[in-house]
Amino acid sequence: MKVGLIGSGGREHSLCLALKKSKKISKIYCFPGNAGTNSIAENVEIDLNNFEKIKNYILENQIDIILVGPEKPLVDGIVDYLENFNIKVFGPNKISSQLEGSKIFTKNLCKKYNIPTANFGIFENSREAISFFKNCSLPIVVKADGLAAGKGVYICENKEEYLLAVKEIFEGKFGKAKNVLIEEFLKGEEMSFFIISDGQTFKKFGTAQDHKRVLEGDRGKNTGGMGAYSPSRLDNENLNNKILDKIINPTLKGLKDLKVSFKGFLYAGLMIVEGDPYLIEYNVRMGDPECQTILPKLRTDFAEIIEACVNKNLEKINLKWYEHKTLCVVLCSKGYPDEYKNNIKIKNLKNIELNNDEFIFHAGTIEYKDEIFSNGGRVLNIVIKSKDFKSCRDRAIKLLSQIDWKEGFFRKDIGFKVIDK
Ligand code: AMP
Ligand code: GLY
């Protein structure tokens, strides 16, 4: 079976490696991939906005299944487009992808189906949004509606911050804004909860906790993710059942009422408040770097799972997992999430020896004449699978010390809630 993988981050390198382990796979293509996927797949340099070119390549090379990693092509409708040419695609269609593509779509669904979430208001102009402020208690959350690559969310501690957030959103900082979403601030512990679905049945696909802030102690600016660990310390059967009953099942019912079914990974970003789950956001894909911590624990053949999903056979698959803990530390370019330099050589990466429970997933890297260079803010993901979180982190940091790259930085405190108690 030939599989094509769309995307170029650490998530995609980990998906690629999970596919590669399967005897079912004869070849993997990555669109466009990175220096890590380059060693196990064929990287194909095509602009991800050019669906027609991607489709032509898939048909010419007789690729059997396409798996979509990132949200943008999903929200732009790549699944609907490719399926029109009878190409099998693992990923949600355009309407289902609104769960991530429009926060307001999701909030309205929550309201209609009684899904617990932060109280909210939607305002069409800054005058209304500003006048609403007097009814709010602080902090208050202001959000842009569409995709904003992890940005577009302001936690406002005072009126000045609130006014600035509303102004920036309506001025188009995150694309043309028809409205703004104002939300109550929920105080609790976050958890990332994943399911996989073939459009008929779904199965739980693990939990994780990521660290979005750039500085140790979860301070500083938001990033795409500085590290993660799996499972979440909150993961237990009682809470999982509440999440399924109150959040996942009503969401899938809501989509069904819109005559769509959800095929792909669904990632619920939750706030757990006194033992009860509240939906903060949906993503219609695996998390990055959560994916890199979940896939190394999967025992079942990943290619078989994806094949079952595109053939609506997921019910027949028994998902098996290793009991281990995993932890990922992200090595970033100095300056990230603001300005940073690209194209800096990472000298000895190919000489580092890894055990089978150690992984270096490439994120922002590029290969040129057999040498590896940085090519993004988040450059490498060091993942360790072990019996306990502390040894995962200790070993990840030891591995990081072997990487000869002075232009990077990483957080040394990933997993502090489960390690440094
Ligand atoms: P989002 O992009 O919606 O996931 O928001 C980014 C981050 O902002 C989340 O991971 C939370 O840490 C925080 N956040 C978003 N909405 C809320 C909320 N209503 N209450 C508390 N924190 C929030
Ligand atoms: N780790 C956060 C995300 O993938 O959106």
- Distance (angstroms) between ligand 2 centre and the Cα of 62 equals 32
DSSP 159: H
For the segment 257-292, what is each residue's pLDDT rounded down to a tens digit? 999 999 999 999 999 999 999 999 999 999 999 999
Q: Report the b/e string of 334-350 with b at 16+ CB within 10 A.
A: eebbeebeeebebeebe
The pLDDT of residue 134 is above 90? no
Other CB atoms within 10 A of residue 316 CB: 9
Q: Does residue 190 have its Cβ closer than 6 Å to ligand 1? A: yes
CA 129 to chain CA mean position, Å: 30
Q: Does residue 71 have its Cβ closer than 6 Å to ligand 2? A: no
Candidates 181, 166, 178, 182; CA nearest to 124 is 178
- Distance (angstroms) between ligand 1 centre and the Cα of 118 equals 10
Residue type, 254: G
- CATH code, residues 325-409: 3.90.600.10
The pLDDT of residue 146 is above 90? no
Architecture of the structural domain at 2-91: 3-Layer(aba) Sandwich (3.40)
For the segment 3-54, what is each residue's pLDDT rounded down to a tens digit? 999 999 999 999 999 999 999 999 999 999 999 999 999 999 999 999 999 9
Computed over every residue of the chain, the mean pLDDT equals 94
Return the structure tokens found at 103.
């926060």
Report the CATH superfamily, name and number, of domain 189-316: ATP-grasp fold, B domain (3.30.470.20)
In the three-class reduction of DSSP (H, G, I as helix; E, B as strand; rest coil), residue 88 is classed as: strand
CA 269 to chain CA mean position, Å: 10
Point out the ligand nearest to the CA of residue 281. 1
Atom 4 of ligand 1, nearest CA residue: 281
* CATH label, 119-184, candidates 3.40.50.300, 3.40.50.2300, 3.40.50.720, 3.30.1490.20: 3.30.1490.20
The pLDDT of residue 151 is above 80? no
Same fold, 119-184 and 189-316: no
CA–CA separation, 268 vs 88, rounded Å?
Answer: 25
- Distance (angstroms) between ligand 2 centre and the Cα of 267 equals 9
In the three-class reduction of DSSP (H, G, I as helix; E, B as strand; rest coil), residue 401 is classed as: helix
Atom 18 of ligand 1, nearest CA residue: 185
Query: Residue 153: what pLDDT?
Result: 85
The domain locations on the chain are: 2-91, 119-184, 189-316, 325-409
Q: Does residue 9 have its Cβ closer than 6 Å to ligand 2? A: no
- Distance (angstroms) between ligand 2 centre and the Cα of 225 equals 6
Q: Does residue 141 have its Cβ closer than 6 Å to ligand 1? A: yes
- Distance (angstroms) between ligand 2 centre and the Cα of 332 equals 16
Q: Quick check: pTM over 0.85?
A: yes
